[in-house]
Amino acid sequence: MNFISPTKGRLSFNQVFRDLLAFIDEHPEDTYKLIVGTDSQVREDVYYVTAIIILREGKGGRFYYAKERQKGKISLKQRIFLETARSLEVASRLAGKFMAIGKTDLDIEIHLDVGQQGRTKEIIREVVGMVTGSGFDARIKPESYGASKVADKFTK
Protein backbone atom coordinates (compact mmCIF):
# COMPACT_ATOMS: atom_id res chain seq x y z
CA MET A 1 0.00 0.00 0.00
CA ASN A 2 1.48 3.33 -1.06
CA PHE A 3 0.63 6.58 0.65
CA ILE A 4 0.65 10.18 -0.46
CA SER A 5 1.99 13.01 1.67
CA PRO A 6 0.86 16.48 0.58
CA THR A 7 4.39 17.75 1.21
CA LYS A 8 6.57 14.73 0.34
CA GLY A 9 4.66 12.98 -2.42
CA ARG A 10 4.36 9.20 -2.79
CA LEU A 11 5.70 7.17 0.10
CA SER A 12 5.79 3.48 0.96
CA PHE A 13 4.39 2.36 4.30
CA ASN A 14 7.96 2.07 5.66
CA GLN A 15 8.77 5.60 4.48
CA VAL A 16 5.62 6.89 6.22
CA PHE A 17 6.71 5.12 9.40
CA ARG A 18 10.19 6.67 9.22
CA ASP A 19 8.63 10.10 8.62
CA LEU A 20 6.35 9.65 11.66
CA LEU A 21 9.41 8.80 13.78
CA ALA A 22 11.32 11.81 12.47
CA PHE A 23 8.35 14.07 13.28
CA ILE A 24 8.20 12.71 16.85
CA ASP A 25 11.98 12.92 17.27
CA GLU A 26 11.94 16.65 16.41
CA HIS A 27 10.20 17.34 19.74
CA PRO A 28 10.22 14.13 21.81
CA GLU A 29 9.03 15.97 24.93
CA ASP A 30 5.70 16.89 23.30
CA THR A 31 2.51 14.84 23.38
CA TYR A 32 1.39 13.09 20.19
CA LYS A 33 -1.83 11.60 18.92
CA LEU A 34 -1.76 9.02 16.13
CA ILE A 35 -5.00 8.54 14.20
CA VAL A 36 -6.06 6.18 11.43
CA GLY A 37 -9.34 6.65 9.58
CA THR A 38 -10.92 5.38 6.38
CA ASP A 39 -13.76 6.75 4.28
CA SER A 40 -15.31 5.50 1.06
CA GLN A 41 -17.22 6.91 -1.88
CA VAL A 42 -19.36 5.02 -4.36
CA ARG A 43 -19.31 5.86 -8.03
CA GLU A 44 -19.21 3.04 -10.60
CA ASP A 45 -16.87 1.32 -8.14
CA VAL A 46 -16.08 1.90 -4.47
CA TYR A 47 -13.13 4.16 -3.67
CA TYR A 48 -11.52 3.91 -0.22
CA VAL A 49 -9.15 6.42 1.32
CA THR A 50 -7.22 5.54 4.46
CA ALA A 51 -5.53 8.39 6.30
CA ILE A 52 -2.75 8.32 8.88
CA ILE A 53 -2.63 11.50 10.92
CA ILE A 54 -0.08 12.45 13.55
CA LEU A 55 -0.80 15.45 15.73
CA ARG A 56 1.70 17.21 17.94
CA GLU A 57 -0.89 18.27 20.50
CA GLY A 58 -1.50 22.01 20.13
CA LYS A 59 1.31 22.42 17.59
CA GLY A 60 0.12 21.01 14.26
CA GLY A 61 0.63 17.72 12.54
CA ARG A 62 1.08 15.73 9.35
CA PHE A 63 -1.04 13.33 7.39
CA TYR A 64 -0.70 10.68 4.72
CA TYR A 65 -3.36 8.93 2.72
CA ALA A 66 -3.73 5.87 0.51
CA LYS A 67 -6.40 5.36 -2.15
CA GLU A 68 -7.82 2.00 -3.17
CA ARG A 69 -10.49 1.04 -5.66
CA GLN A 70 -12.82 -1.94 -5.38
CA LYS A 71 -14.75 -3.05 -8.44
CA GLY A 72 -18.53 -3.16 -8.16
CA LYS A 73 -20.92 -1.82 -5.58
CA ILE A 74 -21.69 -3.10 -2.10
CA SER A 75 -24.13 -2.19 0.66
CA LEU A 76 -23.49 0.65 3.09
CA LYS A 77 -23.06 -1.82 5.96
CA GLN A 78 -20.45 -3.82 4.04
CA ARG A 79 -18.60 -0.61 3.11
CA ILE A 80 -18.45 0.53 6.76
CA PHE A 81 -17.10 -2.87 7.84
CA LEU A 82 -14.49 -2.75 5.06
CA GLU A 83 -13.52 0.81 6.04
CA THR A 84 -13.05 -0.38 9.62
CA ALA A 85 -11.02 -3.40 8.48
CA ARG A 86 -8.73 -1.19 6.37
CA SER A 87 -8.14 1.14 9.32
CA LEU A 88 -7.46 -1.82 11.62
CA GLU A 89 -4.95 -3.26 9.15
CA VAL A 90 -2.98 -0.01 8.94
CA ALA A 91 -3.19 0.64 12.70
CA SER A 92 -2.01 -2.91 13.45
CA ARG A 93 0.96 -2.54 11.12
CA LEU A 94 1.87 0.78 12.76
CA ALA A 95 1.49 -0.64 16.27
CA GLY A 96 3.70 -3.59 15.34
CA LYS A 97 6.44 -1.36 13.97
CA PHE A 98 6.32 0.95 17.01
CA MET A 99 6.44 -2.08 19.33
CA ALA A 100 9.42 -3.51 17.45
CA ILE A 101 11.47 -0.41 18.32
CA GLY A 102 10.23 -0.29 21.92
CA LYS A 103 7.94 2.70 21.46
CA THR A 104 4.83 1.57 23.34
CA ASP A 105 3.62 4.89 24.74
CA LEU A 106 1.87 6.04 21.56
CA ASP A 107 -1.80 5.07 21.52
CA ILE A 108 -3.52 4.79 18.16
CA GLU A 109 -7.07 6.06 17.67
CA ILE A 110 -9.23 4.68 14.91
CA HIS A 111 -11.75 7.16 13.55
CA LEU A 112 -14.90 5.56 12.19
CA ASP A 113 -17.21 7.17 9.66
CA VAL A 114 -20.33 6.36 11.71
CA GLY A 115 -22.48 8.46 14.00
CA GLN A 116 -25.70 8.74 15.96
CA GLN A 117 -27.30 10.61 13.06
CA GLY A 118 -27.99 9.00 9.73
CA ARG A 119 -28.00 5.49 8.32
CA THR A 120 -24.89 4.22 10.09
CA LYS A 121 -26.23 4.47 13.64
CA GLU A 122 -27.40 0.83 13.64
CA ILE A 123 -23.86 -0.53 13.26
CA ILE A 124 -21.96 1.72 15.67
CA ARG A 125 -21.76 -0.93 18.39
CA GLU A 126 -20.47 -3.55 15.96
CA VAL A 127 -17.65 -1.51 14.42
CA VAL A 128 -16.64 0.09 17.73
CA GLY A 129 -16.47 -3.46 19.11
CA MET A 130 -14.21 -4.52 16.24
CA VAL A 131 -11.83 -1.67 17.05
CA THR A 132 -11.79 -1.90 20.84
CA GLY A 133 -11.58 -5.70 20.64
CA SER A 134 -8.41 -5.22 18.60
CA GLY A 135 -6.89 -3.04 21.32
CA PHE A 136 -7.37 0.40 19.79
CA ASP A 137 -9.40 3.44 20.84
CA ALA A 138 -12.43 4.15 18.64
CA ARG A 139 -13.97 7.53 17.83
CA ILE A 140 -17.27 8.16 16.06
CA LYS A 141 -18.79 11.32 14.59
CA PRO A 142 -18.45 14.15 15.46
CA GLU A 143 -15.06 13.21 17.00
CA SER A 144 -13.93 11.04 14.07
CA TYR A 145 -12.39 13.77 11.92
CA GLY A 146 -9.68 11.38 10.68
CA ALA A 147 -12.33 9.58 8.62
CA SER A 148 -15.07 12.17 8.20
CA LYS A 149 -12.82 15.12 7.29
CA VAL A 150 -9.29 14.09 6.26
CA ALA A 151 -9.99 10.79 4.46
CA ASP A 152 -13.31 12.09 3.11
CA LYS A 153 -11.55 15.02 1.42
CA PHE A 154 -9.59 12.62 -0.81
CA THR A 155 -12.47 10.32 -1.77
CA LYS A 156 -13.97 13.03 -3.99
**Tens digit of pLDDT at every position of the chain (156 positions):** 899 999 999 999 999 999 999 999 999 999 999 999 999 999 899 999 999 999 999 999 999 999 999 999 899 999 999 999 999 999 999 999 999 999 988 899 999 999 999 899 999 999 999 999 999 999 999 999 998 888 888 887
Question: Residue 81, SS3?
Answer: helix
Instruction: Say what the alpha-carbon torsion angle 57, 105, 95, 9 is, to the nearest 10 degrees.
Output: 30
Q: Are 48 and 90 in contact (CB under 8 A)?
A: no
Q: Is 73 left (phi over 0), alpha (psi -120 to 50) or beta?
A: beta
DSSP H helical ranges for the chain: 13-26, 76-100, 124-133, 145, 152-153
Taking CA atoms, 57 is separated from 20, 31, 109, 119, 149, in Å, by 14, 6, 14, 32, 18
Tell the CATH topology of 2-153. Answer: Nucleotidyltransferase; domain 5 (3.30.420)
What is the C-alpha R_g of the chain? 15
Q: Quote the CA–CA distance of 153 and 88 in Å, as a whole number.
A: 20
